[in-house]
Structure 1
Amino acid sequence: MALDLGSSRPRAWVPGRGLVLDTRPYGDYGDCGSDGGYGDVERPVRRGRIVDPESCGRMLGRIADAALGPDRSDSVIVLSHPVLAGAEHRNAARALLARLGTRHVVVLSSARAAAAFAGPREVGPLLVVDMGAELTEVTLLMNGLVADARQAEHGLVDLRGLAPATLPAVLVRTVLDMITSMWRQDRHGAIRGALRRGPVLAGGGALRPDVTDRLAHRLGVRVRLADDPSTTVVRGAGRILGSVLRHRSASPEHPGRAR
């Protein structure tokens, strides 16, 4: 199972079944709140990070039961996390997933997952712009590895009170400021090369043409969108999961089929 906890709702992807969870905000998971994932109620994930491990563990158990069934001894889970999430968050995520009884856990950044979905065979510099509910991230990848990244701890939820014509300008300004900051510290022309290839846009903000069109105009480049940017990360994690499963099935040490 590939899993993206996100800031507004969890999303899960299973080989052979595709997207199996993309409809229930955190508020619909019992002890995880009741407002659809927004507001002041307690939620296990905020700003892309696990803030209530106990509640999050119960939620992950319910997701795993529905997506993988009760016997998970031969299962593999790939979980994405914000690119600048610290070691404490990553370790907490691994510990929670280990309790599910799975055979193998892979934790990777959401930027690498988005890049895997956008172009798994691409080499060279790639810019990933993820405009989510509570986080906005810009990541420079070099041959699949994170070379630089910026993060703003606000997203679409924080901009809900703005006038319709103002929101795109504020969000695009946030993205441009991060790209400009990275450009100033780039001594090898990687940002310029990544912009020439076209940034990959992901997250709920990429569903808005008023945002994507403005961003393309201000950057003076084409931008690249998946057919559903809000699920780019989990589907990219699904592609990485597929690679992990193929590698394991080809290894003599792991003759069994993982799911």
Structure 2
Amino acid sequence: MRSPINALFGLFSRDLGIDLGTANTLVHVRGRGIVISEPSVVAIDKKTREVLAVGSEAKAMVGKTPANIVAVRPLKDGVIADIDIVEKMLRYFIERVHNGSIYPSRPRVVIGIPSGVTEVEKRAAKDAAIAAGAREAYTIEEPMAAGIGAGLPVNEPTGSMVVDIGGGTTEIAVISLGGIVINHSIRVGGDEIDEAIIQFARHECNLLIGERMAEAAKIVAGSAYPLEEERRVTLRGRDILTGLPKAVEVSSIDLREAIKGPVDEIVELVKLAVEETPPELIADIMEHGITLAGGGALLLGLDKRIAAETQMPVRIADDPLTCVARGTGKVVESLMEYQNALRAGQQMRRAAVTQ
């Protein structure tokens, strides 16, 4: 039982759960829920390395900055590519959470990270959080955090399969008794789908488009399975031949063919995880279904495609974009309850794939 002093300290410590994603960073504050959801983008002065903007403000600068300013994404494929910039980004978010607090303190932080990262990369995430102002930092693998956030019975002797599709990685895990039994990680996610659309526009339409245009097209008309009503979207960019502005209308059928490569890789990885799952656990998954989380879960028809390929029920988690953040928030609120989940990253896996 916690002492009144410890309980009072915990009340004001504002412990944080952070989904440190390639595309977006979400921050869950103990007792308050998710208070920050911002793009993982930082605008810096190239000469002084001074941070000029973070999050949405920085993302709005992508492709529009003068020569001395660069908008960077300090995480690539779910891995910290620039630890100094990540530290500054985390410091900004932590300070923003505690802005105006009467009792500012160094919070405990639980960070969701891809399951395929190395021990060095895990240490880099912890070090960045400590340097940014945390007094304690823990890491938890994203599919485990997503399962907790989706409300799956991760601590029970029941098999649960989570497919967490983020911006830079797709994580697949079979979870039971607070640990990961089967794990696969592939560095294919929303970013690769966007890039496939960019390449489609370039090669099929002689059109140069940017990341934001590709992402918007994906959201409106991207799909992994035939739709009841196919959609159309207009791609706007620069004509490769003339250099002039150009707009081209494409269908969801066109985009489905364009993104076939990365979607097929994700589906094949799910099938591989199903094949390697022990019979006792596969029976549980057949009963309860596969859970999709992460922004990629919102790709139209992906749940139907996976269901057709695996012959298993598939459901999209409630608010899949925030599953990992909500999971890290639950863990930081009950560290003792999720000790096995925090140790899962240290345990030997039966399978892992990283590309």
**Normalising by the residue count of structure 1, what TM-score does the alignment of the two structures yield?**
0.82
Query: Which residue matches 1:116?
Result: 148
- In structure 1, what is the equivalent of residue 284 of structure 2? 193
Mapped contact 1:26–1:37 kept (Cα < 8 A): no
Is the contact between residue 127 and residue 195 of structure 1 (CA under 8 Å) also seen in structure 2? Answer: no
Q: 1:104 to 1:246 in 2, by over 3 A?
A: farther
- Structure 2: distance between partners of 1:212 and 1:169: 15
Using the alignment, how far apart are the partners of 2:305 and 2:284 within structure 1? 20
Give yes or no for contact 2:17–2:325 (8 Å, CA) kept in 1. Answer: yes
SS, match of residue 95 in structure 2: helix
Unaligned segments of structure 1, at least 5 residues: 248-259
Could you tell me how far apart the structure 1 residues matched to 2:62 and 2:266 are?
A: 23
- How far off is 1:245 after superposition? 8.8
Question: Which shows bigger deviation, 65-74 or 51-60?
Answer: 65-74
**Following TM superposition, by how much is the alpha carbon of 1:167 offset from its aligned partner in structure 2, in angstroms?**
5.8
Residue in 1 that maps onto 2:178: 144
Distance 1:235 1:26, change over 3 A: same
Letter in 1 for 2:35: V
Task: List alignment gaps of at least 5 residues for structure 2.
Answer: 1-15, 44-50, 64-69, 201-253, 339-355
> In structure 2, which of residues 32, 36, 49 is the aligned counterpart of residue 17 of structure 1?
32
Aligned CA distance change for structure 1 residues 222 and 30 (closer, same or farther; 3 Å): farther
Deviates more, 1:233-242 or 1:209-218: 209-218
Given that residues 32 and 55 in structure 1 are in contact (C-alpha distance below 8 angstroms), is that contact kept between their aligned partners in structure 2?
Answer: no
RMSD: 3.0
- CA distance 1:31–1:49, change in 2 (3 Å): farther
Structure 1 residue matching 2:38: 3-state secondary structure: coil
Match of residue 134 from structure 2: 102
Q: Does 1:47 align with 2:77?
A: yes
**CA distance in 2 between partners of 1:218 and 1:98 (Å):** 43
2:300 aligned with 1:209, yes or no?
yes
Q: Provide the C-alpha distance between the structure 2 equivalents of 1:96 and 1:229, rounded to a whole number of angstroms.
A: 26
* Whole-angstrom distance in 2 between the partners of 1:141 and 1:11: 23
Work out the CA distance in 2 between the residues paired with 1:111 and 1:197. Answer: 17
Greater Cα offset, 59-68 or 118-127? 118-127
- The worse-fitting range, judged by mean Cα deviation, of 235-244 and 113-122 is 113-122
Normalised TM-score (structure 2): 0.62
1:61 counterpart (83, 91, 97): 91
- The DSSP-based 3-state class of the residue aligned with 2:256 is coil
| Deviations 1:77-130, CA, capped at 9 Å, x for gaps | 111100111101111111111123333222110111111122253422111101
Aligned equivalent of 2:328 = 237
For 2:139 and 2:255, the matched residues in 1 are separated by 37
Match of 1:159 among 185, 193, 196: 193
Query: Quick check: 1:8 aligned with 2:23?
Result: yes
Residue 55 of structure 1 deviates from its aligned partner by: 0.9
Count matched residues: 247
Decide which moves more: 232-241 or 64-73: 64-73
Contact 2:143–2:162 (8 Å) recurs in 1: yes
Give the deviation of 1:153 after TM superposition: 1.3
The Cα of 1:176 is off from its aligned counterpart by 2.9
Q: CA deviation at 1:180?
A: 2.9
Residues 138 and 118 of structure 1: is their aligned pair in 2 closer, same or farther, counting only changes over 3 Å?
A: same
Q: Which has the larger radius of gyration?
A: 2
Equivalent pairs: percent with the same residue?
Answer: 24
2:221 aligns to what? none
2:264 aligns with one of 169, 173, 179? 173
Contact 1:8/1:37 (8 A) holds in 2: no
SS at match of 1:209: coil
How far 1:59 sits from its partner (Å)? 0.8
Q: How far apart, CA to CA, are the structure 1 residues paired with 2:174 and 2:141?
A: 12
Contact in 1 for aligned 2:20/2:26 (Cα 8 Å): yes
